[in-house]
Structure 1
Amino acid sequence: MTILDASKGYQKYFEEITKIPHGSAEEKQISDYLVQVAHDHNLKVVQDESNNVIIYKNASLGYEDHPAVVLQAHIDMVNEKNSSSNHDFSKDPLDLYIEDGFLKAHGTTLGADDGAGVAYILSVLTDPSLKHPHLIGLFTVNEEATMEGAFNLDMSLINAKRMINIDGEEEDASTTGSAGGMDIVIHHPITYIHAPAKGYALSIKGLLGGHSGGEIHKERGNSNKIIARLLHQCILKGDVQLESLKGGLKINAIPREADATFTSSLPESEVLDIINKTAIQIKKELEFTDEGLTITIEPCNINKVLDKDVSKKIIDFLYLVPTGLRHKSDHLNGLTTSSENIGIIDLQDETFEFGLSVRGALDSYVQDLADEIQTLAKVFGFSATTENWYPAWDYMEHSPMRDLMTKVYKETHDGKEIQMYAVHGGLECGIFKEKCPDMDIVAIGPNIYDVHTPDEKLDLKSFDRTYSFLCKYLENL
C-alpha cells in the first residue's frame, strides 16, 4: 500500500527508500538503488569503493554557462527502535503511517535524516522540466557513524565550487556552520563469578532521547547516567555486584533506555527504598523534559556476577563521567559550543565497553573533552581509545550562495527572512571544506522532529514547501 503521493517525485522516492535497509555501514542496497535510478534516466553515474554515488545531470537550456552546483545528502540512517518493536532493520521495510500531517514509522526511526535530502536530490535529477545549472548529485555513506563516505570521497569527481547540503531539519533556517567531534570508547576486561543468587532487575524507560548534537542543549535525561546514579546510591550503603548492564543503541543518540541486573549486600527492603526514593527525585528533576520516564525494579534470579570491586569501579566511572551540555556561545545566541554524550554502555562476556561522543565548535574543545574523559578512564585503570574524528565547519564571512538564498527565500515567503545559524550537530560540510577550502556551502531541509528516536516525524507540508523552494533557488543559481 502506498502512503505518500507518488505523483510528487520526492515523496515517491522517499517511500521507496524506506523499503530498503540502509543503516550506517549497511548502505550497499540503497547505493545500488541510486545507481539503478541513474541508469533508468540515462544519467551518468559513478559508484566508488565506499559505495558513495555521484550522479551528473546536464544544465537545462540557457544555464549551460552557469557554474555547476553539488546537491549533497547522506544515504544512511540511524536504526533506533522501541524495546517492544520486533522490527528487523536488516530486512524489514519501515512501517509508515501519517498522523496529523506528519509522516512517522511505527516503533522505529523514520530516516528522514537524511532520506528527505536523498529524495529531494533524486527528484531534481529525474525531473526534465526544472531549470538549473549543471548538477552533481552527491550521496555519501556512513555519515551517522564515521563520515567515511565524505572522508574517502575523491574530490576530482566533484568539479564544482558550490554546494547545497540537504541535511537540515528546519524549513525556515539555513545552517552556516557545524561542530566537529570524535568518539571515545572505554573498555576493560572482566571476569564473571558463577554465583546463583537472588537479585534485582532495574529498568529505565520512557525518556525522549534525541540527537546528541541537535537536542543536547535541551538537557533531556540520559538513561545511562540515570542507571549509574541509582546504582551509585546503593553502593553508598552496601556492596553491589553486577550481572548485566546495558543501555543505548547509538553513540550519537541520547540513550532512552537502560537495564541492569545485580545483587546487593543490603536487605531487599533497603534496596527498594533507595531506588524508589532516588527515582522520585530524578522524575521531579526531569518532569518538564521527560515526563514519560519510568523507573522500575523487581526481584529476579542471578546466575553470575562481577567482583564487587570491579562492579564498583564501573558504576563509579559511569557516575562521574561527564555528559550533556558543557559550554554555550556568548557570540551566537543559543549555540551549544561543546558537549559530551555517553551513548552506549554494555557488559559483555569478557569485557565491558562504553561509547561516548564529544562535540565542539572548536577543535580545541573536542580535544580537551577527549583528554578529560581519557584521563578519568586512566584513573580507574580502564583503556580509552579515540576514533571517528571529523572537523568543524567554520562560518564563512562572505558567501554568495548564502546571500542568494536569503534573497530567494524572502521573495518566495512574502518577505519573511530565512534564519542563518550554526548548529552543534556534525555535518559533512566541514570535511568538504577541508578538502576544498573555497567551496561555498549552504544547508537546508524540511521540518523534521525528534530525529534519531522512534518518535521521529516529518512535516509533510514542510516537505512540499521546502522542495518548491529548492527548485526556485536552483532556478536562480
Structure 2
Amino acid sequence: MAFEKLQPTEVFKWFEEICRIPHGSGNLKKISSFLVKFAKDRDLYVRQDNDLNVIIKKPGTKGYEKHAPVILQGHMDMVAVKEKDAKINMEKDGLDVKTDGEFVWADKTSLGGDDGIAVAYCLALLDSKKIPHPPLEVIITTNEEVGMDGAMALKCDDIEGKRMINIDNEEEGVMIVSCAGGARFHGYLPLTRENKSGIKVKIRVKGLQGGHSGEMIGKGRGNANVIMGRLLLEITDALEVGIISLNGGVADNAIATDCEAELLLMGLASQMHGNIVGPDVSFFSLFGKLSSIAYKVESDFKAELGSRDPGLSIVVEEVHEKTLEPEKTDISNMASVNLDSSVDTFTETHEKREVVSGVIPCAEVIELARCICAMPYGVQSMSSSIEGLVETSLNLGILKIVSSQTGAVEGKGAASQSAGTMDEAFLLDYSVRSSVAPAKEALLRKMEIIIEGFNGIFEVTGEYPGWAYAEKSELRDTMAKVYKELYKKDIRIEAIHAGLECGLFSEKIDGLDCVSIGPDMQDIHSTGEKLSVASTKRTWEYLCEVLKAL
C-alpha cells in the first residue's frame, strides 16, 4: 500500500481504496456499489437511488444517541484528466498514486482528491468504533463535476438532519458559507465534410496549468481551447486549411490545458478559389508560414499570460503520408524563416499531396475561429461587496467535434427555428458561473445571440442555484469556536466563485444550516493535482472535534 505510513491511517486507508476504483464522472457504478457494500457489511442503513447516489446512516455513539443528526456530504465522482502519453485507461484502471510524505498525487493523471477525500473522511467515521459523534447521515452524490446531476435528482425524504457539513472545499482554515450559481452552455456550430487535396499537419496547444474553472478563473491562466481559436483565426488569415479532427479539454469546469487539431494544409488564403496547392508554392513554404504563425501566437500569449502560465507551448507537426507518424518541428526558430523561398531539400514524402476524405472546409474553420474569438471568456465582473471575489465568469472547457452517433447534437437557435438537430457539429462547451442570478442570465443570453449569429444552435443544462449567506448559523458559530480553541486563531469565513451542492440541498431541506470545509489541495481538475498530507490530518482532527461539540 502506497499510503500505509501516512497519518491519519484510518483516512488514507480508504482514500487509497477509492483511488483503486475508476470513478470519473459518468463512470460511477463500481464506486457506488462499493459504498453500498461497505454499509451493508457494517449493518448500517443504506439507500442507493437510480442515479447511484448513496445515503448511509449511523447511530450516535454512547452519550450522543439523542443528539440532532449531522449530515456529512461530498461527491463520489472526479474530473478524470490524464497527460497525453499516459497509458492508463481511466474508464477501467485505478490511479497510480504516489506520495513523498508531504503530498499525495497520481502519476500523469488527476488525483480525485476533489472529492475523494470527503468520501474517505466519511468512511473512516462510519467505520470507527472509537470516535464520539451524533447520529450521522452521510450523503455521497454522483456527477457533481458535470452539472450536479446526482444532487438535483436526489430525494431527501429519509434525511432528518438540519445541520450539514459539506466537505468539498480545497483550502484548510477556510469555512465556505456562500457560493455562486451556474449552468452549462453547449454551443453547436454546423459543419460539413468534403474530399480535399493537400498535406496533413498537426498543431497542438499544450503546457498550460489548467485547474478548476471556479477557483482558478480569477488567476488569469491560459485556456488551450481559447488559444486554439485565436490560432485558427490567424492561420486562416494567411493559409487555406481544413480540419480533419479537433479535440480540446476534458470537462466544462476544468480550464483546458491541451488542444490538438489535425489540419489539411492546402494553399495560401489567396488561392482559396482552388482546392489544390499550386505547383509554385512548395510545402516547405506553406509549412514555414504555418510555423511562423504558431510562433507569433505563442509569443503573443506568453506576453499576455506572463508568469501566470509560463509553460505554454504550441507544437507544429508534419504527418508523413507513408507512416502517418508525426515529426515534431521546433517553432522557436521559425521567426526567421523566409516564407517566400522554395526549399528543394525536403523529401518527396513531404511534397506529395494526397486526397483526403472527410475534411471540414476552410470557410467553416473560419466561422469556428471567429465564433470562439467573439465569445466572452474568463472573468466578466468582480463582486462589489466582497473584495477579490469573482462575481461572473465563463470557461470554454471542451472544444471538439461531435456527431449524432456519439451523442445528442440538438438545441435551440434562430437558425433552427427555435429548435433543431445536426448530424455533426463543432461543440463549444462552457461552464457559466455567477453569484448574481440576473448577471448569469444576461451572460447566457449574450452567448445564445453569438451562437445564433454563426448559424449555430445551443442548449443550456445543469443549472444550479447559488447558496446565499445566512445571517444566523449555529453550526457556523460552533465550528468557528472549535477552530479557535484548537488553533488559537480565527477560521476565515468566505464565499467562493465555484459551485457547491450546498445551494441545492438548502432548497431540498427546509431550514438547513450548512457550511463547507476541506483540506489543502493544489491544482484540482488537472494532472498537477496534489493533496497535502499534513492538512488532511489537521482537517480530520478538526472534523472529529466538531462532531464532539455537536
Same fold (TM over 0.5): yes
Name 2:457's counterpart in structure 1. Answer: 383
State the Cα deviation string for residues 333-371 of structure 1 (Å, max 9, x = none): 211111010111112463221211101112212211111
Where 2:146 maps in the other structure, the secondary structure is coil
CA distance in 1, matches of 2:3, 2:163: 35
Q: Alignment partner of 1:87: what SS?
A: coil
Of residues 297, 303, 307, the one that matches 1:288 is: 307
Whether the aligned pair in 1 keeps the contact of 2:97 and 2:105 (CA below 8 Å) is yes
CA gap 1:4/1:335 in 2 versus in 1, 3 angstroms: farther
Contact 1:252 1:343 in 2 (8 A): yes
Distance 1:26 1:245 in 2: 24
The one-letter code sitting in structure 2 at the alignment partner of 1:254 is: I
Tell me the CA shift for residue 437 of structure 1.
4.0
Q: State the alpha-carbon separation in 1 of the partners of residues 162 and 18 from structure 2.
A: 29
Alignment of 1:209-358 (within 5 A): 209-262=210-263, 263=265, 265-266=267-268, 267-268=285-286, 269-300=288-319, 303-304=356-357, 305-348=359-402, 350-358=424-432
SS at match of 1:425: coil
Instruction: State the partner residue of 2:209.
Output: 208
Q: Secondary structure at the match of 1:54?
A: strand
**Can you list the C-alpha shifts for 1:276-314, whole angstroms capped at 9, x where unaligned?**
122212122223011111112233367242222212111
Deviations 1:6-31 (A, max 9, x none): 87211111000000111112211111
Secondary structure in 2 aligned to 1:377? helix
Cα deviation for residue 260 of structure 1 reads 1.6
Which residue is equivalent to 1:131? 132
Percent identity of equivalent pairs = 38
1:131-170 equivalent positions in 2, closer than 5 A = 131-170=132-171
Partner of 1:450: 523
Distance 1:68 1:41 in 2: 19
1: CA distance, partners of 2:548 / 2:124: 15
Q: Which stretch of the first structure deviates more once superposed, 42-51 or 104-113? A: 42-51
Distance in 2 between residues matched to 1:138 and 1:210, nearest whole Å:
26
1:456 counterpart letter in structure 2 = E
Q: CA deviation at 1:241?
A: 2.7
Cα displacement string for residues 405-452 of structure 1 (whole angstroms, at most 9, x for unaligned residues): 110000001x11111101111111000011124100011100011000
Which residue of structure 1 lines up, in the alignment, with residue 4 of structure 2?
4
* Structure 2 Cα separation of the partners of residues 132 and 470 of structure 1: 10
Instruction: Provide the secondary structure at the position in 2 that maps to 1:93.
Output: coil
TM-score normalised by the chain length of structure 1: 0.96
Structure 2 letter corresponding to 1:247: G
- Cα RMSD after superposing both structures: 1.6
Separation (CA, whole Å) in 1 of partners of 2:297 and 2:45: 61
Shift of 1:272: 2.6
8 Å contact from structure 1 (residues 183, 355) kept in 2:
yes
| Superposition pairs of residues 367-382 of structure 1, within 5 angstroms | 367-382=441-456
Q: How does 1:71-220 map to 2 (within 5 A)?
A: 71-99=72-100, 101-220=102-221
Q: C-alpha offsets along residues 208-234 of structure 1, whole Å, 9 cap, x if unaligned?
A: 001010111001000011111112112
Moved more, 464-473 or 350-359: 350-359
Residue 315 of structure 1, CA deviation: 1.1
In 1, Cα distance between equivalents of 2:189 and 2:120 = 43
Q: Is the 8 A contact 2:166 2:517 kept in 1?
A: yes
Residue 398 in 1 paired to residue 398 in 2? no
CA separation in 2, counterparts of 1:171 and 1:271?
A: 47
Q: Distance in 1 between matches of 2:62 and 2:179?
A: 36
**Mean Cα deviation higher: 106-115 or 22-31:** 22-31
Greater shift in the superposed pair: 26-35 or 256-265: 256-265
Q: Which moved more, 1:378-387 or 1:124-133?
A: 124-133
Partners of 2:34 and 2:183 lie apart in 1 by 31
Query: What CA distance in whole angstroms lies between the structure 2 residues aligned with 1:247 and 1:99?
Result: 32
Distance (whole Å) between structure 1 residues aligned to residue 466 and residue 437 of structure 2: 7
Deviation of 1:53 after TM superposition, in Å, equals: 1.1
- Segments of 5+ residues of structure 2 without an aligned counterpart are 269-284, 322-353, 404-423
Provide the rounded CA distance (Å) in 1 between the counterparts of 2:160 and 2:65. Answer: 15
One-letter code aligned to 1:460: V
Tell me, yes or no, if the aligned pair for 2:75 and 2:144 is still in contact at 8 Å.
yes
Name the count of aligned residue pairs: 476
The one-letter code of the counterpart of 1:211 is H
User: Which stretch of structure 1 is more off in the superposition, 258-267 or 13-22?
Assistant: 258-267
- 2:54 partner amino acid: V
Q: CA deviation at 1:199?
A: 4.4
8 Å contact kept, 2:394–2:433: yes
Equivalent residue number for residue 501 of structure 2: 428
Contact 2:184–2:431 (CA under 8 A) maintained in structure 1: yes
List, as ranges, runs of 4+ consecutive aligned residues in structure 1 with deviation greater than 4 Å. none
Q: Residues of 2 paired with 1:210 and 1:272: CA distance?
A: 28
C-alpha distance in 2, partners of 1:247/1:2?
Answer: 32
